[in-house]
Amino acid sequence: MEHGKPLMMNLEGSKKMRIPVVAVLLCVLGSAQTSAPKANKDQAKAAPKKPIPVYEIALSEDSDYQPLPWPKQWVQGHEVEADCIGDGNLYLLKPGQGLVALTPNGIVSFLGDKMTDIPHPSTTFVGMNPSISPSGVAFRVTGIDDERLEIRTWTDEQGRPHTEKDATYATIPYIARFDKDGTYKGAINLDLPFTVYKFAAFDSGNFIAQGVDQNKVPRVALLDASAQFMRYLDLRKDISTSRSVSAEEIKCDGCTTDIGSVVFNGYFTAWQGKMLFKRESTGGARVYEIQESGNIRITDIKPPEGYEIGGLIPSDRNWLLRFNKLDDQGVRPDTFDSLLEVNPQNGEPVSEYHLKPPYTEPETVVSCFAEGAFWGVHRDAKEEKLTVVHGAAAPYRGEIKNQPPRRTTGDTPR
């Protein structure tokens, strides 16, 4: 499918769905008068933009995937986070346990008990952004070096002795690597000139990472397949170009926030052999398309007025970004439960997509678009399980209404 064409699918068929080609004919009317071209150009500028087409995503459960038990106690305070890249698997974070994949061949685990080369591996995975690529599954883990632990003893007011361990200088960051089948490939010690917050792997196995250096300057860097530092990237108009940033707080588009929040809420999304990078807490809607060579192209997304843009989801066609907008009462919901499709070449909106009830957020999360279908997971609170869902989109015939505002927990939606 060409860039700029909507991801409209045929509802008939199974997992691989045909995508009809929509031909758009642009006619330019000329005139022999010398003033006509300028007049037509001025009229085109003044003419209001046509509303973008709206589609509705109809999802259904896929019986080829084994459901994942999801107890009720995991729901409170834990949004369901799922990733997919079109390899047929759905990757989920299990609160306090690790990463698992729902596959047609069963459930595959990527848990801390396999990381035998990491001393005391941390498997909290709070806010983790795993790297899923053709080369495997990887995520950031921390270990504790017992020899670097500082032992402190002190006595309280009653004269009772106390001993505590300080792991400030004993915590070591690693990248834990797995094959897609769950086989552990080993850990890489992240001995780098900056602290890594998020990273992702190119198809070759080389990495791109972002974080902050010892001067609290945000950085984006290329690493080789062994996570050895190669070079920093200069992302024009990004905070990573602000060499003088050293304060705890920085100013962004219409906001003031701390560096940690800004860097932590920047995400990588693989797309056609390249990496898309977008920050979510600095306002605006700018996407960096980064090649493995380090070449960078910037695209400013041009959403319709009143739309607030969230994060990208993987797509093998045009770009898809989560968004919300004002409801009928003028209230902006917290949830980013709809998708805006944009042309990667110019950032112009192509289509918008909404979930068709009863599959709506927060119980249902769309995670990617691949092979002609939208894929995601659905939480069944009554049965206490998660199931894989997929489906196609069709033109929406009714009135789109936002869901009522709801209070969210955790980080900015991805």
According to the model, what pLDDT value does residue 97 have? 74
Whole-model pTM: value is 0.81
pLDDT at 16 over 50: no
Domain-embedded: residue 379:
yes
pLDDT at 26 over 70: no
Tens digit of pLDDT for each residue in 125-166?
555 678 999 989 999 989 999 989 999 998 989 999 999 988
pLDDT at 56 over 50: yes
* Residue 409: band (very low, low, confident or very high) from pLDDT cuts 50, 70, 90: very low
According to the model, what pLDDT value does residue 239 have? 74
Domain-embedded: residue 131:
no
DSSP 315: B
* Residue 246: band (very low, low, confident or very high) from pLDDT cuts 50, 70, 90: very low
Domain-embedded: residue 217:
no
Spatial separation of the C-alpha atoms in residues 200 and 414, rounded to whole Å: 15
Given a contact cutoff of 8 angstroms between Cβ atoms, the answer to whether 302 and 373 are in contact is no
User: Out of 85-94, 318-327, 393-402, which region has the weakest mean confidence (pLDDT)?
Assistant: 393-402
According to the model, what pLDDT value does residue 315 have? 97
According to the model, what pLDDT value does residue 81 have? 83
Tens digit of pLDDT for each residue in 172-186?
999 999 999 999 999
Domain-embedded: residue 138:
no
Q: Burial letters for 1-24: b for 16+ Cβ neighbours within 10 Å, e otherwise?
A: eeebbbbbbeeeeeeebebeeeee
Is the Cα torsion angle 115, 116, 119, 124 positive or negative in sign?
Answer: positive
Q: Is the peptide bond before 362 cis (omega within 30 degrees of 0)?
A: yes
Q: What percentage of residues in the chain have a pLDDT greater than 90? A: 52
Domain-embedded: residue 413:
yes
Domain-embedded: residue 92:
no
Domain-embedded: residue 376:
yes
pLDDT at 343 over 70: yes
According to the model, what pLDDT value does residue 128 have? 63
* Residue 50 burial class via C-beta count within 10 angstroms: exposed 0-12, middle 13-18, buried 19 and up: exposed
Q: Which domain holds residue 14?
A: 1-86+314-414
Given a contact cutoff of 8 angstroms between Cβ atoms, the answer to whether 14 and 63 are in contact is no
More confident residue, 204 or 261: 204
Q: Where are the beta strands (DSSP E) in 343-384?
A: 349-355, 364-370, 373-380
Domain-embedded: residue 348:
yes
Domains in the chain, number:
1
pLDDT at 241 over 70: no
